Structure 1
């Protein structure tokens, strides 16, 4: 399992040690020294786990996590902190943190936590927005330009998977696993459902959001993202 992790930590010596250790364990680890740079990297790349230091310049870890969750980013967050009181942990969980690791910590424990978090997406966010499309996972509703989209359970799962990964490409195999799991459907089943999904998400509106990339898969992108 190849993992891609982002470490947002302003202690350069600690960051260098963590990046080196994780990469020795075959985990790719990008580094940002402050919250604003971390936010920039998160918008540009897809990560399996985010490692956030609590105390950082420009934007602290709690503020960064809170901002990500409000934007619908469901990447698991492991908060790294020297603060170990219950109140500190409660504050972290309230903004959407998935797990805590108190400094100093053993590198082996960090590795175990990262691998465990990478196996699931965070359950914290409730809304995803791409252009004028909005999905509410709590209410299980989808709207576009304020209009409700009447989706079947299969269409909902497909759209949710595309939205979670937007603007990145989602392969056919990824979509099949997300919807049908290990039960492989008939060869044209995905094609039929994607056609029906387009009829509801794109056809009634001026611009299409669902893009097909031949031999690659599908992506949910707004016009600006398609042109970049």
Structure 2
């Protein structure tokens, strides 16, 4: 059940897994977030971080990219391949567009470039966790459905685990189907107030199509050039 704060009260703390190998950075993040009421856990390398994340029980994973034993991108990809949809906020000094797109392609929900202000980190953590809770109840159009409670799509009897970001995008597309959903609406649904650009959206739609369209005879997610995307039932 979602923990909804009462009006005028601070938002409840989240269970945060921090995977960061730099001791000083990890200590600063831990101290700040713990003082803000969050329940913290920490791993200093990618292999132990992946094992801890696989056990579940976290609201958000804060993941550094340059990790010993297992790179952050590989960690995120393995987490998603295992069907875990926990929101992942990546931390990195890599600030090029290609780096960001690769992070999103591997399953990240957001991307924060070092150095950053700790209050912004907390705001991003809360944002990825909030938008990971789409409206309750399944969204269905034709043979394609999405259940936000299980973070899984269904098509032709096949269950397809999604990331929270992929699920948020598919949820909007299905609830509006067969109407066109503009790029701006999808970006807001996926990334919230922090936003993203169309290139990041295209990367996520590409990954979503690989899961819910490519294994089947007829694609359902259509691109409307220069406007947005829509879901149409097979003819």
**In the TM superposition, what is the alpha-carbon distance from 1:69 to its structure 2 partner?**
0.7
TM-score (norm 2): 0.53
When the two structures are aligned, how many residues end up with a matched partner?
A: 133
- Residue of structure 2 in register with 1:30 after alignment: 41
Which range moved further: 44-53 or 99-108?
44-53
- Residue of structure 1 in register with 2:22 after alignment: 11
Secondary structure class of the residue paired with 1:137: strand
* 2:97 matches 1:83: no
The separation in 2 between residues aligned to 1:83 and 1:3, in whole angstroms, is 27
8 Å CA contact 1:78–1:101 kept in 2: the answer is yes
**In the TM superposition, what is the alpha-carbon distance from 1:116 to its structure 2 partner?**
1.0
TM-score (norm 1): 0.54
What RMSD, in angstroms, separates the aligned Cα atoms of the two structures? 2.2
The separation in 2 between residues aligned to 1:89 and 1:25, in whole angstroms, is 28
Change (3 A) 1:62 1:138: farther
Q: Name which of 81, 101, 104 aligns with 2:115.
A: 104
8 Å CA contact 1:75–1:122 kept in 2: the answer is no
Aligned ranges 1:1-228 → 2 under 5 Å: 1-121=12-132, 137=153, 139=155, 141-142=157-158
8 Å CA contact 2:89–2:110 kept in 1: the answer is yes
The separation in 1 between residues aligned to 2:104 and 2:46, in whole angstroms, is 18
**In the TM superposition, what is the alpha-carbon distance from 1:49 to its structure 2 partner?**
0.5
Change (3 A) 1:115 1:136: closer
The separation in 2 between residues aligned to 1:98 and 1:122, in whole angstroms, is 13
Secondary structure class of the residue paired with 1:52: strand
The separation in 2 between residues aligned to 1:81 and 1:43, in whole angstroms, is 22
8 Å CA contact 1:98–1:122 kept in 2: the answer is no
Secondary structure class of the residue paired with 1:20: helix
Once superposed, which parts of structure 1, at least 4 consecutive aligned residues long, lie more than 2 Å away?
A: 120-123, 138-143
- Residue of structure 1 in register with 2:175 after alignment: none
After superposition, give the CA deviation of every residue in 1:27-80 in whole Å (9 maximum; x if it has no partner). Answer: 111110011111121123411011110111111110000001111100011000
Secondary structure class of the residue paired with 1:112: helix
The separation in 2 between residues aligned to 1:140 and 1:73, in whole angstroms, is 22
- Higher alpha-carbon Rg: 1
**In the TM superposition, what is the alpha-carbon distance from 1:122 to its structure 2 partner?**
8.3
